[in-house]
Amino acid sequence: EAGVVQSPRYKIIEKKQPVAFWCNPISGHNTLYWYLQNLGQGPELLIRYENEEAVDDSQLPKDRFSAERLKGVDSTLKIQPAELGDSAVYLCASSLGPWNEQFFGPGTRLTVL
Amino acid sequence: SQQGEEDPQALSIQEGENATMNCSYKTSINNLQWYRQNSGRGLVHLILIRSNEREKHSGRLRVTLDTSKKSSSLLITASRAADTASYFCLTGYSGNTGKLIFGQGTTLQVKP
């Protein structure tokens, strides 16, 4: 069974440019998460979806970040415009439900120059 | 940013020794999970303990949960060099907020 797929794996952009990350969760997983992880720290939840509904986006900087999960399957996270401080690893995870074991993708390492 | 508390931040032991790391949280939880992250690799789920459970085992892993102290411990027995990684707890808070918060992590180095 395929795991959580993320693309791209690496992205280097200049500040003020837009960037988008894509995630395809494990088939049948209703819950999808986007996390941000800075070096040496634990992941921080940006947004959690239950099917196509964003049920927790309290930590998403909505002035520049947006996300969507059309049809309740794959998801896209966008940053526009990117800032230097957005350099981090962006992780996608999925689970059967919000209190279940989460399966993580390999992440996208974003570098903003 | 919201980060849970874990201690120690770093731990270095010899192969064969036991490693214990702790996680504290603030309010009532639904469950608590532990994850491992090897250098340059993704996060892998280790064990989940529910709020009505006090202890769980999985192979060389033992997790305890003390809801009165709002804390959990992960014990790795007979450690191996391959256990070298960062370990994170994830607390699932109950109630209307339903927040999921990772700890800052414990970096474990197991020397051969």
Mean pLDDT of A24-31: 95
Cβ-proximal residues to B59 (8 Å cutoff; 6+ apart), any chain: none
Give the mutation candidate from B36, B89, B100, B102 for the A interface (greatest A CB count, under 10 A): B100
Q: Quick check: A43 contacting B, CB < 8 Å? A: yes
Residue B2 confidence (pLDDT) above 80: no
Pairwise CA distance, residues B97 & B83, whole Å: 34
Q: Quick check: B93 contacting A, CB < 8 Å? A: no
Q: Quick check: B60 contacting A, CB < 8 Å? A: no
| pLDDT computed for residue B94 by the predictor | 76
**Percentage with pLDDT > 90 across chain A:** 88
Q: Quick check: B74 contacting A, CB < 8 Å? A: no
Mean pLDDT of B28-33: 92
Residue B1 confidence (pLDDT) above 60: no
pLDDT band at B95 (very low <50, low <70, confident <90, very high): low
Q: How far is A99 from chain B (nearest CA, A)?
A: 7
Mean pLDDT of B68-76: 96
DSSP at B17: S
Name the more confident of B98 and A30: A30
Pairwise CA distance, residues A47 & A58, whole Å: 7
Residues in chain B: 112
Q: Quick check: B88 contacting A, CB < 8 Å? A: yes
Residue A99 confidence (pLDDT) above 90: no
SS3 category, A85 = helix
Pairwise CA distance, residues A73 & B91, whole Å: 25
The answer to whether A57 and A36 have CB atoms below 8 angstroms apart is no
**Are A33 and B45 a contacting pair at CB < 8 A?**
no
**Are A99 and B31 a contacting pair at CB < 8 A?**
yes
Mean pLDDT of A84-109: 95
| pLDDT computed for residue A71 by the predictor | 86
Q: How far is A43 from chain B (nearest CA, A)?
A: 6
Mean pLDDT of B30-58: 93
Mean pLDDT of B33-54: 92
